[in-house]
């Protein structure tokens, strides 16, 4: 085992503070990665505050990891020392169930090993994430980062990116489709970028008129203010697909009215009880509401390659690890455009 520096929360009331963790020595199938950058996801805040009632303390968050390979096991042939790589929300799975065989490790029927706050099969206890100096990961869960991308701005692609890319790809969004992205935050801004890059007519749907300018800079062709009933009526029945990134429970019925016959709205933001739906809004038009959870490793690599081909990265604000508690406070107020990324050099220098 190797002891190294990290930042952890000791309880749901505690700030994140310096903490020492142990990483396993590499096995023949492992890759050791020195962490350069780590994105700050809203899930990190939820886990630290135990909002989902499953947190295991101490919590070392972080699942948007960019780093350099420093050591590989003897069975590793597709990565070498010095490669720029990424690690997202998962670091292992059973690899044998039907979901894993279908490259959908996020739905592993025996439980995927998440990057943090998950059972650690190797050391016991629970896994620790990317707010740390380095990480050891099974070779099948390491991702290659395209060389032309800004490594710092690529970090949020490992969660926010795949969370929004996967439903757009799975539901077959294509050039000329009219796609609505509901909510402009960390997820929504990536949804706009991806839909635009896929050639869709992209509409930002928001309650805030003051977000119109930013939405168009990100690639939106139009902005629809959902509080404007007349505008909502004009767009009724015209959307091929809606990507709903709103992170809290809300009334979805007005958005159902925007969908064409046989069209779908996919929820990626709200992981809590939702307001009642009017069944008629679904039945009249054979419309669908679905959910989507990140993506498998194969699809995540496809997403990264797509980003390399289309020069898609996240809009970020860099911080030092010492600023993480202030960043969490700002994250709760949606005071970031659009993702924080930690320069992990600041941890090594502390």
pLDDT of residue 348: 87
- pLDDT 10s digit of each residue in the chain, 350 long? 899 999 999 999 999 999 999 999 999 999 999 999 999 999 999 999 999 999 999 999 999 999 999 999 999 999 999 999 999 999 999 999 999 999 999 999 999 999 999 999 999 999 999 999 999 999 999 999 999 999 999 999 999 999 999 999 999 999 999 999 999 999 999 999 999 999 999 999 999 999 999 999 999 999 999 999 999 999 999 999 999 999 988 999 999 999 999 999 999 998 788 888 899 999 999 999 999 999 999 999 999 999 999 999 999 999 999 999 999 999 999 999 999 999 999 998 87
User: What is the enclosing helix (H) or strand (E) of 134?
Assistant: strand 134-138
| CATH number of the domain enclosing 277 | 3.40.50.720
In a domain, 306, yes or no: no
pTM over 0.75: yes
pLDDT of residue 257: 96
Contacts with 349 (C-beta within 8 Å, 6 or more apart), sequence order: none
Quote the domain boundaries for residue 217.
Answer: 161-291
CB-CB contact of 177 with 201 (8 Å): yes
In a domain, 277, yes or no: yes
348 vs 333: CA distance, rounded Å: 29
Tell whether omega for the bond before 338 is within 30 degrees of 0, i.e. cis.
Answer: yes
Based on the number of CB atoms within 10 Å of its own CB, is 165 exposed (0-12), middle (13-18) or buried (19 or more)? buried
In terms of domains, do 129 and 90 share one?
yes
In terms of domains, do 63 and 168 share one?
no
In a domain, 307, yes or no: no
In terms of domains, do 153 and 14 share one?
yes
In terms of domains, do 11 and 154 share one?
yes
67: tokens are 């780093």
16 vs 132: CA distance, rounded Å: 12
At residue 25, the 3 state secondary structure works out as coil
User: What is the enclosing helix (H) or strand (E) of 66?
Assistant: strand 65-72
In terms of domains, do 170 and 226 share one?
yes
152 vs 27: CA distance, rounded Å: 28
162 vs 299: CA distance, rounded Å: 8
In terms of domains, do 12 and 150 share one?
yes
The CA-CA-CA angle for residues 135, 347, 138, to 5°, reads 5
In terms of domains, do 155 and 9 share one?
yes
Contacts with 277 (C-beta within 8 Å, 6 or more apart), sequence order: 252, 253, 256, 289
- Cβ–Cβ contacts within 10 Å for residue 201, how many? 18
In terms of domains, do 78 and 171 share one?
no
In terms of domains, do 139 and 246 share one?
no
287 vs 262: CA distance, rounded Å: 5
DSSP state of 132: B
pLDDT of residue 350: 75
CB-CB contact of 132 with 34 (8 Å): no
In terms of domains, do 65 and 83 share one?
yes
In terms of domains, do 175 and 284 share one?
yes
Nearest to 306 by CA among 100, 164, 105: 164
- Distance from the Cα of residue 314 to its chain's centroid: 11
- Cβ–Cβ contacts within 10 Å for residue 239, how many? 23
In a domain, 300, yes or no: no
Q: How far apart are the first and last CA of the chain?
A: 22
pLDDT of residue 270: 80
In terms of domains, do 100 and 224 share one?
no
pLDDT of residue 129: 99
52: tokens are 């989902």
Calculated CA dihedral for residues 46, 160, 249, 206, nearest 10 degrees: 130
Cα dihedral 89, 93, 96, 97 sign: negative
pLDDT of residue 297: 99
CB-CB contact of 285 with 261 (8 Å): yes
CB-CB contact of 236 with 263 (8 Å): no
Q: How many domains does the chain have?
A: 2
């Amino acid at each position: 085992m190797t002891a190294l520096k990290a930042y952890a929360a000791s309880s749901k009331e505690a700030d994140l503070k310096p903490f020492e963790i142990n990483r396993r020595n590499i096995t023949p199938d492992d890759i050791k990665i020195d962490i350069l950058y780590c994105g700050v996801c809203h899930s990190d805040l939820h886990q630290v505050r135990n909002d989902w009632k499953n947190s295991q303390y101490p919590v070392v968050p972080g699942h948007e990891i960019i780093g350099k390979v420093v050591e590989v096991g003897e069975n590793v042939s597709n990565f070498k020392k010095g490669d720029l790589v990424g690690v997202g929300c998962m670091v292992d799975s059973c690899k044998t169930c039907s979901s894993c065989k279908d490259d959908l490790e996020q739905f592993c029927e025996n439980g995927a090993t998440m990057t943090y706050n998950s059972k650690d099969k190797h050391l016991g206890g629970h896994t620790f994430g990317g707010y740390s100096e380095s990480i050891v990961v099974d070779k099948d869960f390491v991702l290659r980062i395209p060389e032309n991308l800004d490594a710092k701005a690529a970090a949020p692609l490992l969660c926010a990116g795949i969370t929004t890319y996967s439903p757009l790809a799975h539901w077959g969004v294509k050039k000329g489709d009219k796609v609505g992205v509901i909510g402009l935050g960390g997820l929504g801004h990536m949804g706009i970028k991806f839909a635009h890059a896929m050639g869709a007519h992209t509409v930002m749907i928001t309650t805030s008129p003051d977000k119109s300018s930013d939405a168009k800079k990100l690639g939106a062709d139009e902005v629809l203010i959902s509080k404007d009933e007349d505008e909502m009526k004009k767009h009724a029945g015209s959307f091929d697909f809606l990507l709903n990134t709103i992170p809290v429970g809300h009334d979805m019925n007005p958005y159902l009215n925007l969908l064409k016959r046989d069209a779908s709205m996919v929820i990626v933001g709200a992981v809590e009880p939702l307001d009642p739906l009017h069944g008629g809004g679904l039945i009249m038009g054979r419309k669908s509401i679905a959910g989507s959870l990140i993506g498998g490793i194969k699809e995540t690599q496809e997403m990264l390659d797509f980003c390399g081909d289309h020069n898609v990265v996240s809009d970020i604000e860099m911080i030092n690890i010492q600023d993480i508690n202030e960043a969490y406070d700002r994250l709760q107020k949606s005071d970031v455009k659009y993702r924080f990324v930690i320069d992990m050099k600041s941890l090594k220098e502390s």
